[in-house]
Chain A
C-alpha cells in the first residue's frame, strides 16, 4: 500500500519542480496537471481497503449487505476526485486559451518575458 502513496508524492514533487523551473507556458501547464493528478491519486488511495471489492451493489451481493459494507472500498473519495478532475479540465482549458492569446501578443511562450506590466 505504501507504493501508491510513494508514487503520489513523487508526482506532486515532479509537478511542483516543473512549475518552478521550466521556461515554457505549455510545460508549466503540464506541470500543474501532473501535480493535481498526484493529489487525486493520493485521495483515491486514502479510501482503499486491503482485499476490498468495488462499491457496486449487484444482484448477488444484495442479499448480504452488511458483509458488502465491510468489504467494499470507500466510494466517497472517488466522488471527490471525479469532481476535482472536472474542475481541472476547466482550468486546463482556460490556461491553454490564455496561452494562445499570450503567444499572439508577445510572440513567445517564455513566462519570464511577460513583463509589460512592470514597466
Chain B
C-alpha cells in the first residue's frame, strides 16, 4: 500500500507526538478525569495508524511490525491478570486493592486503578493496531 503526498506526510509527522501524548495523558488520568484505559488506548493506536496511512505499509513494517503489536497485546493482558492475582497472593480476594490510596486528586492515588488502566491502555493500543494490520493483510494479499 503506497503512502500519500508530501503535505500529508509532513503534517502527520508533526502531529504524531501530540496525539500520542494526549493518548498517554488520557490513560494516566483515568482515575481523576473521564477517560481511562479504553479511549486512551484507541487514541494511541489512532496516532500510529495516521503514520502508517501517510507513509505506506512497507515503511511502517520496519518500525511497528505485526510481531511487536502481538507482543504488546500479550504484555497488556498478562499485566491485568497478574494485578488481579496479586490480590490472591497477598492473602485477600481477587482484584482487591493492594496499592496505596493517595490523597484526593493526586496522580498516584486510587489503589490499583492506575496499574490496571495502564495494562488496559497498552492492550487496547496493541489490539487495535493488530486489527488494522490484519485487515490490511487480508486486502493486500488479495491484490497480488
A82 in contact with B142 given A59-B105, A62-B104, A93-B131 (CB within 8 Å): no
CB-defined A-B contacts under 8 Å, sample of 25: A56-B32, A56-B33, A56-B34, A57-B104, A58-B105, A59-B104, A59-B105, A62-B104, A82-B36, A82-B38, A85-B38, A86-B38, A93-B131, A93-B135, A96-B135, A97-B131, A97-B134, A97-B135, A97-B138, A100-B135, A100-B138, A100-B139, A101-B138, A104-B138, A104-B142
Query: With A and B bound together, what is the CA distance between A58 and B131 in angstroms?
Result: 38
Residues on B close to A: CB < 8 A?
32-34, 36, 38, 104-105, 131, 134-135, 138-139, 142
Q: A56-B34, A104-B138 are known; give 20 further A-B pairs, CB within 8 A.
A: A56-B32, A56-B33, A57-B104, A58-B105, A59-B105, A62-B104, A82-B36, A82-B38, A85-B38, A93-B131, A93-B135, A96-B135, A97-B131, A97-B134, A97-B135, A97-B138, A100-B135, A100-B138, A100-B139, A101-B138
What's the nearest-Cβ distance from chain A to residue B136, in Å? 10
Q: How far is the CB of A39 from chain B (nearest CB, A)?
A: 18
Interface residues on A, range: 10 to 19
Over the window 21-61 of chain A, the binary record of Cβ atoms lying under 8 Å from chain B Cβ atoms (1 yes, 0 no) is 00000000000000000000000000000000000111100
A80-119 contacts to B, CB under 8 A, are 82, 85-86, 93, 96-97, 100-101, 104
Residues of chain B with a CB closer than 8 A to A62's CB: 104
Q: How many A-B residue pairs have CB under 8 A?
A: 25
How distant is the Cα of A56 from the Cα of B139 in the complex, in angstroms? 45
Residue of B nearest to A94 (CB): B131
The minimal Cβ–Cβ distance linking B49 to chain A, given in whole angstroms, is 13
Q: Which residues of A contact B (CB under 8 A)?
A: 56-59, 62, 82, 85-86, 93, 96-97, 100-101, 104
Name the CB-closest residue of B to A54: B34
Tell me, in angstroms, the Cα distance from A86 to B36 when the chains sit together: 13
Q: Which residues of chain A come closer than 8 Å to B105, judged between CB atoms?
A: 58-59
Q: How far is the CA of A56 from the CA of B35 in the complex (A)?
A: 12
Q: State in angstroms the CA–CA spacing of A100 and B142 once bound together.
A: 10
Closest to A61 in B: B104
Q: B138 — nearest CB in chain A belongs to which residue?
A: A100
Scoring A56, A57, A86 by chain B CB atoms within 10 A of each residue's CB, the highest score goes to A86
- Residues on A with beta carbons closer than 8 Å to the beta carbon of B38: 82, 85-86
B34 proximity list for chain A (CB < 8 A):
56
